[in-house]
Copies of this chain bind each other. A is one copy, B any other.
Amino acid sequence: MKHITGGVTAAKGFEAAGVQARVKYQNRKDMAMVFSRTPCRAAGVFTSNVVKAAPVIWDREIVEKKAAIHAVVANSGIANACTGEQGRQYCRQTAQAAAEALGIPEDSVLVASTGVIGMQLPMDRITEGVKALAGVLSDTEDAGREAAEAIMTTDTHSKQAAVTVELSGKTVTVGGMAKGSGMIHPNMCTMLAFVTTDAAISEDLLQEALRADVTDTFNMISVDGDMSTNDTLLALANGCAGNPEITEKNEDYRLFCEALHEVNVTLAKMLAGDGEGATALFECHVIHADTKENARTLAKSVICSSLTKAAIFGHDANCGRILCALGYSGVQFDPEAIELFIESEAGRLLVYQNGSAADYSEEEATRILSCPEVTALVDMKTGEAEATAWGCDLSYDYVKINADYRS
């Protein structure tokens, strides 16, 4: 497996575009399109929030009926959530506009929205935007980047990842783009993420691979504990790589899953590190837990703790808050048995052992916690399971961004 540059246009046969449609933002791209002339198999995982955005309802229906997919249309600025019957009609009209512009069936168009909840889409601008997107589709790296930029809301940079892997002698590419950066606490997948691949793979296996992988990638990140109404992760496979179609869990399937995981985990970490107001990516790595599920629960409890996140922002090795968060996670353990380290590129430091704080240098701790990526390493000393979760620190800017988001 090899990391390459690019995102959704990295795989053969995929085109993309991003344009300014003035859906809500001014002077920036706010609509994106991904297109494959060759029909794609699609897989998707969506928010488990009871309040689902209109495009989530639309996409889920299409993915479940296994329709051949040609395009995804996404807008930022308005989420088309809590918009009732009107919102669902607008969603269909968006797909219709794309179908017309691209000469494809309406049910081959997936739709995604992100932004303010409870506001209706300006449909005239959306349909104009769709036409503009169809006119500038391209398979270049630039086009992929422009699409990734167009789906940003409060993100400070766009997120792309791509890898290649050899399957039975053919080079297969998996690429993707994603956006955060608030209301991020996925429980099936994250806000918006799109993965494209030229692999030939059956729908069922693509769906299974995607669903299995989110457990340790997008479901292990949190920015603020708020699970969005719009969480959508889509994977499109158009088969253009020419590999023998993957229809069983053979070696090619295993390699494909590794490539998919690499793209997903890279995008997931990018989302966490660029959480609203974040100054650092905060990782919690739990090792030697009794079960995988407990390791996940413990790791996620730590990266979700507001007090721990504020301490990370202050470069303060407040191990008590990490212990506290482990303790209320719901997992049973002996607090006197575990060990806690903090680490970053600046080093690793033991901060808690034998039921109380270790004898460490606060200056050294602050130096370690001043890096842009910091990790709490928790050794549970009981078993062989491990898990990692990713979040970010809690800063003044998180409050600033969210106190006046709609204005």
Chain A residues within 8 Å of B, Cβ to Cβ: 48-52, 79, 81-87, 116-120, 182-183, 185, 187, 224-229, 304-308, 310-311, 313-314, 316, 318-321, 323-329, 331-333, 335-336, 352, 354-357, 394-396, 398-407
B residues near A329, Cβ cutoff 8 Å: 50
B residues near A396, Cβ cutoff 8 Å: 396, 399-400
Count of identical protomers in the assembly: 2
Q: Which of B51, B185, B305, B321 contacts A327 (CB 8 A)?
A: B51
Residue of B nearest to A224 (CB): B306
B residues near A48, Cβ cutoff 8 Å: 328
CB within 8 Å for A50 and B327 given contacts A311-B403, A320-B116:
yes
B86 near A356 with CB under 8 A, answer: yes
Q: Which of B118, B323, B400 contacts A356 (CB 8 A)?
A: B118
B406 near A117 with CB under 8 A, answer: no
Given contacts A117-B323, A226-B308, 10 further A-B contacts (CB under 8 A): A49-B324, A82-B335, A84-B355, A85-B355, A118-B319, A118-B357, A183-B307, A183-B321, A318-B405, A399-B399
B residues near A224, Cβ cutoff 8 Å: 306-307
B314 near A403 with CB under 8 A, answer: yes
A325 near B402 with CB under 8 A, answer: no
Report the Cα distance A319→B82, complex, angstroms.
9
Report the Cα distance A328→B323, complex, angstroms.
26
Give the distance to chain B from A261, nearest Cβ to Cβ, in Å: 26
7 contacts between A and B (CB under 8 A): A82-B357, A84-B336, A118-B320, A314-B403, A316-B407, A396-B396, A396-B399
Residue of A51, A185, A354 with most chain B CB atoms under a 10 A cut-off: A51
Closest 5 pairs (CB-CB, A-B): A117-B320, A314-B403, A51-B327, A310-B402, A84-B355
